[in-house]
Amino acid sequence: MKFENTLEFARQLDEKDPLRKYRDRFLFPKVNNKPVVYFTGNSLGLQPKNAKDYVDEVMKDWSELAVEGHFYAKKPWWDYHERLAKPLSKIVGAKPEEITVMNTLTVNLHLLMVSFYRPKGKRYKIICEEKAFPSDQYMFQSQVKFHGYTPENAIVEIKKRKGEHNFRTEDILSMIRDVGDECALILIGGVNYYTGQVFDMQKITKAGHDIGALVGWDLAHAAGNIELHLHDWNVDFAAWCSYKYMNSGPGNASGCFIHERFHDQREISRFEGWWGTSKDTRFLMKPEFEPMPNADAWQVSNASILSMAPYLASLQLFEEVGMQALIQKRKVIVSYLEFVLQEIDKQVESTFEIITPANPKERGTQLSVFLHGEGKKIFDYLMQNGVITDWREPNVIRLAPAPFYCSFEDMYSFGQILKEGILKKANQLSSEL
């Protein structure tokens, strides 16, 4: 498709967009009394309008039924989390029985590492990417210390080549082979939070298994964003937050994947609680733990219903649309945003450098952009003029046009506001000289 950086062309793309009606299913903040251009679905997705209905339903059942809501609510609370498994399985490419929802992301990764990080003898190292999301770094450090190792010896970071912004798959595979039988676990973010690079999860998982290691994925920036086939890729485990591309609300419940080959194992290392025990005997309060025959065996406490309600509301929208339709729009809208940035770059005395891979197969919804020579004043200008984006030091803005609610006109409008901000800054500097 040949793009044009005009309002008319952007509106033509919106007219042809089969998902355009879903924009009206979300609530937008306003700046200067106008709905914002929202680029931070990679941090917190917008609120679906149906989320309040789902929460209100729980509140109504609580007010009218109190404790009896566990069994007699419209959606009984004792198995509420099970309703999320099937729609989530379609999003991450799993079987419904491989999915559970509980806690929050880093808590779940810690709990999963109880089962999947079992260092023994010379096999004790964890392979991750350099400058992983800080929460993952802290998790790795505390886990290896808990097992009696030092981070310097036990954590192996895959590095980028000097002068490059992204990881090369061949370097990752080479590192895995080099660590070999000293590697106990490979745990990487499926999409790098800083650059938006998508890792080749299938190849990396196979390489890890070839050396006898277990392989897990932090899918915080991948779930609801890119195509995933966790079961077919033979991934051992994964976890993700729900509040980014899946629009469930701030700090909300996390999803987990545990491959079916680990199910129904009574002897597996695992921190256990009563919501992971058999539904048939759970309320008999037996002293013996009888694990659920699926991923729910990793549940510890009863479900946090008020956090799962807006998650379920959002998943209804995913069921209506399907990941393939979202991915198809995402490819086009991200390409159009890339085009707009390149066109604006030609019109101003600045140099934008997109550090996200240009190959559509190696990126999702996010473009990370160096604004060379501009600094945070441009970010501030964008925010003050209704473009909600994300700043990362030293001078990177992250732009994530979520296909559910971002329009092509948004991309055009962003380009014009960016251009206006750069020119105003340049004129101000000239007047000061």
Q: Tell me if 1 is assigned to some domain.
A: no
Q: Mean per-residue pLDDT for 414-428?
A: 86
Q: What is the pLDDT of residues 228-276, one digit of tens each?
A: 999 999 999 999 999 999 999 999 999 999 999 999 888 899 999 999 9
Q: Tell me if 371 is assigned to some domain.
A: yes
Q: What is the pLDDT of residues 276-331, one digit of tens each?
A: 999 999 889 999 999 999 999 999 999 999 999 999 999 999 999 999 999 999 99
pTM of the model: 0.95
Q: Which residue has the tokens 């140099």?
A: 351
**Together in a domain, 423 and 347:** yes
Q: Tell me if 293 is assigned to some domain.
A: yes
Whole-angstrom distance, CA of residue 111 vs CA of residue 271? 7
The per-residue pLDDT for 355 is 96
Distances (CA, A) of 333 to 329, 366, 374: 6, 11, 25
**pLDDT beyond 60 at 432:** no
Q: Among 274, 303, 321, give the residue marking a domain's end.
A: 321
**Together in a domain, 112 and 13:** no
Q: Mean per-residue pLDDT for 197-203?
A: 98
Q: Mean per-residue pLDDT for 130-147?
A: 95
Q: Are 142 and 113 in contact (CB under 8 A)?
A: no
**Together in a domain, 118 and 204:** yes
**pLDDT beyond 80 at 427:** no
**Together in a domain, 391 and 328:** yes
Q: Tell me if 47 is assigned to some domain.
A: no
Q: Tell me if 421 is assigned to some domain.
A: yes
Number of domains in the chain: 2
Q: Tell me if 37 is assigned to some domain.
A: yes
Q: What is the pLDDT of residues 143-159, one digit of tens each?
A: 999 999 999 999 999 99
Which CATH number covers residue 355? 3.90.1150.10
In 17-104, alpha helices (H)? 51-65, 69-72, 85-92
Q: Tell me if 204 is assigned to some domain.
A: yes
For residue 167, the one-letter residue type is F
Q: Mean per-residue pLDDT for 379-403?
A: 93
Q: Mean per-residue pLDDT for 168-183?
A: 97
Residues in Cβ contact with 283 at an 8 Å cutoff, skipping those fewer than 6 apart = none
Tell me the residue range of the domain where 137 lies. Answer: 52-321
**pLDDT beyond 80 at 128:** yes
Strand 30-31 and strand 99-102: pairing?
Answer: unpaired
Which CATH number covers residue 189? 3.40.640.10
**Together in a domain, 277 and 385:** no
**Together in a domain, 280 and 189:** yes
What does the DSSP assignment read for 264-280? T-TTS-----GGGB-TT
For residue 256, the one-letter residue type is C
Residue 420 — pLDDT band, cuts 50, 70, 90? very high
**pLDDT beyond 50 at 183:** yes
Q: Among 278, 293, 321, give the residue marking a domain's end.
A: 321
Q: Are 411 and 401 in contact (CB under 8 A)?
A: yes
**Together in a domain, 281 and 328:** no
**Together in a domain, 215 and 254:** yes
Tokens of 279: 């539904």
**Together in a domain, 370 and 223:** no
**Together in a domain, 11 and 141:** no
Residue 433 — pLDDT band, cuts 50, 70, 90? very low
Q: Among 255, 290, 321, give the residue marking a domain's end.
A: 321
**Together in a domain, 112 and 58:** yes
Q: What is the pLDDT of residues 331-343, one digit of tens each?
A: 999 999 999 999 9
**Together in a domain, 56 and 26:** no
